[in-house]
Amino acid sequence: MKNTEIWVFIFILGLLGINWPVIEIFHTGVVAYLFVMWILFIILIALAARKDNTDA
């Protein structure tokens, strides 16, 4: 995957992951779900940014 494709993938994953129907699936544990998604996005962005730095 090219670096641009990785950023687009992370963006689309974010849109789908924090979409209301998906959050409604985890109705009883919304706070835990959002916390896990938040941590996952931080890790994905850090890995994508690291890959961007090593390519330069």
Tokens representing 21?
């129907």
Tokens representing 53?
């730095």
Cα-based distances in Å from 46 to 7, 13, 22, 50: 11, 15, 24, 6
Q: What is the pLDDT of residues 21-38, one digit of tens each?
A: 888 888 889 999 999 999
In whole angstroms, give the CA distance from residue 24 to residue 30.
8
Q: What is the pLDDT of residues 39-51, one digit of tens each?
A: 999 999 999 888 7
- CB neighbour list of residue 16: distance below 8 Å, 6 or more residues apart: 22
Segments making up each domain of the chain, as ranges: 3-55
Answer yes or no: pTM beyond 0.85: no
